[in-house]
Amino acid sequence: MKRLLLLALFLFLAAPLRAQKEYVREQQTWLGVFNQNRFSQRWGSWTDLHLRLHDHFVQAPFQTVARVGLTYYLTDDVRLTGGYAYVHHFPDGARTISQAEHRPWQQVQWFTKFPRARLMQWVRLEERFRRTIRQNERLDEFDFNYRTRYNAALFLPLSKRGFEPGGVQFLLNNEVMMNFGKEIRLNYFDQNRLFAGLVYQVNKHAQIQGGYMHLFQQLPAGNVYRNQHTIRVFYFHNFDLRPAVSLAPTPTSSPVTP
């Protein structure tokens, strides 16, 4: 009886330890190029390409992303986009082989102008098809789940030129992501990305963003979290390719954002 009581006491005391959260610390560098083209009053295109490195920021490839889309302009400041992304996950942790992901996506994006600030927001829905890997072997099947993302970016001018060419801005950006679908069991919360940095307006078509991003992610195991410190450098450019005779006034100072 004493042994049973001791065993029960041990199991009772050990239960919180089993449920204890684990944290994985990462240091990454994210490089990205973004492009938006407007072909007509209503139609345009979206492209962005990414290289993400990790292991002391730059020592190993972590992920590449190639994303394209077709944009419909409800107005100059409200846009609908749908497209496809291909994501390549390099070996990481216990997974010693790479993993492919196919990701259709849909998005509504809108801009708000204030006398001394610009605000960009979007809501994005993604359908994620990831190659199933079991015991470090790729299978001919895919895991699937939905993910929704809300992104808000606030731009504040720091120089007299403001949003004009040669201007410098402060950028505060946050994006939160949630998983859902029948294959999601523990990690309904996916991740939060908080970024602070500077923007240099190269010209009326392009800008460079650089700064620090903190990423906090709940991994599929449920009690394992990624605490990631990231250097982020993005280059953005957009072109209005409409014939000059048909151009309507456009918010040229509205920022293009990821």
Q: 203: domain CATH number?
A: 2.40.160
Q: What pLDDT sits at residue 225? A: 93
Owning domain of residue 201: 22-240
> Count of domains in the chain?
1
In a domain, 192, yes or no: yes
47, 71 Cβ separation under 8 angstroms:
no
Give the angle subtended at the CA of 157 by the CAs of 155 and 158, to the nearest 5°: 130
In a domain, 251, yes or no: no
In a domain, 184, yes or no: yes
> How does 48-86 read in b/e, with b if 16+ C-beta sit within 10 Å?
bebebbbeeeeeebbbebebbbebebeeeeebebebebe
Q: Taking residues 161-166, what's their average pLDDT?
A: 95
pLDDT category of residue 177 using cuts at 50, 70 and 90: very high
Q: Taking residues 92-97, what's their average pLDDT?
A: 86
Tell me: pLDDT of 183 over 70. yes
Reading phi first (left if > 0) and then psi (alpha if -120 to 50, else beta), residue 220 is in alpha
pTM more than 0.75: yes
Q: What pLDDT sits at residue 19? A: 52
In a domain, 16, yes or no: no
Q: Taking residues 222-246, what's their average pLDDT?
A: 89
C-beta neighbour count of 258 within 10 angstroms: 20
In a domain, 145, yes or no: yes
Average pLDDT, the chain: 89
d(CA 40, CA 35): 16
d(CA 96, CA 52): 17
In a domain, 254, yes or no: no
Q: What pLDDT sits at residue 147? A: 98
In a domain, 91, yes or no: yes
Alpha-carbon distance values, 169 to 155, 160, 201, 209 (Å): 6, 10, 8, 9
Q: What pLDDT sits at residue 186? A: 85
16: buried, middle or exposed (CB in 10 Å: 19+, 13-18, 0-12)?
A: exposed
> Hey, what are 245's tokens?
């005779």
Q: What pLDDT sits at residue 21? A: 81
Query: Whose CA is closest to 222, among 192, 185, 178, 176?
Result: 185
Q: What pLDDT sits at residue 106? A: 98
Tell me: pLDDT of 247 over 80. no
Query: Whose CA is closest to 86, among 104, 69, 70?
Result: 104
Q: What pLDDT sits at residue 188? A: 92
pLDDT category of residue 201 using cuts at 50, 70 and 90: very high
- High-pLDDT (> 90) share of the chain, %: 75
Q: What pLDDT sits at residue 95? A: 84
Range from 7-21, 87-101, 233-247 that averages highest in pLDDT: 87-101
d(CA 22, CA 225): 6
In a domain, 246, yes or no: no
Q: Taking residues 147-166, what's their average pLDDT?
A: 97
